[in-house]
Amino acid sequence: MSAITPGVSPLSKLRSLTGPRRILLHTLLIGVALLMLYPLLWMLSSSLKPDTEIFTHPGLVPEKVHAANYSEGWSGSGNSFSLYITNSLIVTIGAVIGNVISCSLAAYAFARLEFRGKKILFGVMLGTLMLPMQATLIPQYTIFYNLTWINTFLPLIVPKFLATDAFFIFLMVQFIRSIPRELDQAAMMDGANPFQIYWKIILPLMKPALVTTTIFTFIWTYDDFLSQLVYLQQNDRFTVPLGLTLFLDKTSGSSYGAMFAMSTLALLPTLICFLIFQKRLVEGLATTGMKG
């Protein structure tokens, strides 16, 4: 049984490898990375091929570059593709703001405040994590239909302001529990009320968890297809996932090259978001489980 050397991180152990082991490890990591990147590289390559070559010549290097796919895709679905990107950003930014505000407030209540039924409500909240969204889709649709919200962005944004994502509440609860309660007690002695403690002490210290919530909410909402398909009906309200389906037509033929071109462009917002916040994301994931 090997002893664990204190103060030595797994990364340091990997760097200490020499000779064949290090070469084997790097080869394995490069192979896995290429395997993960291959679908993206194939999509990028396909966006530069004519439709007739996409499936007949599946290699990564196009025999003939067909850059017109990008211009055709940008305006070939009836509307400029910028409209779909704008709609997606409206829905996504609204969902991010709603989740950050509502989930942090709910998490603060569960982690710091004492009230009747707290443990029961927390258990019910965790139980919703195991409830598939398809089970609540019809009741939610009925509610939004009676509110005349169908074919608007409201069903996709308003629920986020009601702390409906239990995953992010649980993530923030775990993070808040790692913050010393002495800070709260010191603020209370200075006359701060619970909301002031949340706003001036807890919230500034929650930046890693807030960034993690922001990134995952952005990606999951931006890539969501089912909810947007259910609630959005008119072409001018479509988001990116729905806009991409307009390039597929079983009767008159599909424009795969244009679809892959717009799919490539559609990756840019999520890629930029991840590159900007990746350091905070790792920090948030590493610290949310420090204290149970």
pLDDT tens digits for 126-148?
999 888 888 889 999 999 999 99
pLDDT (0 to 100) of residue 11? 52
Residue 25 has pLDDT above 90, yes or no: no
pLDDT tens digits for 150-173?
999 999 999 999 999 999 999 999
- Composition of the chain by helix, strand, coil, percent to 5: 70, 0, 30
pLDDT (0 to 100) of residue 67? 87
Residue 119 has pLDDT above 90, yes or no: yes
Residue 15 has pLDDT above 70, yes or no: no
> Which of residues 282 and 242 earns the better pLDDT score?
242
pLDDT (0 to 100) of residue 10? 54
pLDDT (0 to 100) of residue 2? 43
**What percent of the chain lies above the pLDDT cut of 70?**
87
pLDDT (0 to 100) of residue 286? 60
**What percent of the chain lies above the pLDDT cut of 90?**
54
* CB-count exposure of residue 109 (10 Å: 0-12, 13-18, 19+): buried
> What's the mean per-residue pLDDT of the chain?
86
Mean pLDDT of the 102-106 span = 96
pLDDT tens digits for 44-79?
999 998 888 888 887 888 888 888 899 888 987 778
**Close Cβ partners of 95 (under 8 Å, ≥ 6 residues apart):** 156, 157, 160, 217, 221
Residue 290 has pLDDT above 70, yes or no: no
Q: What is the 3-state secondary structure (H, E, C) of 91-160?
A: HHHHHHHHHHHHHHHHHHHHHHCCCCCHHHHHHHHHHHHHCCHHHHHHHHHHHHHHCCCCCCCHHHHHHH
pLDDT tens digits for 196-224?
999 999 999 998 889 889 989 999 999 99
Half-sphere exposure of 227 (CA within 13 A, CB side): 22
Residue 285 has pLDDT above 70, yes or no: no
For residue 3, name the pLDDT band (cuts at 50, 70, 90).
very low
pLDDT (0 to 100) of residue 117? 92
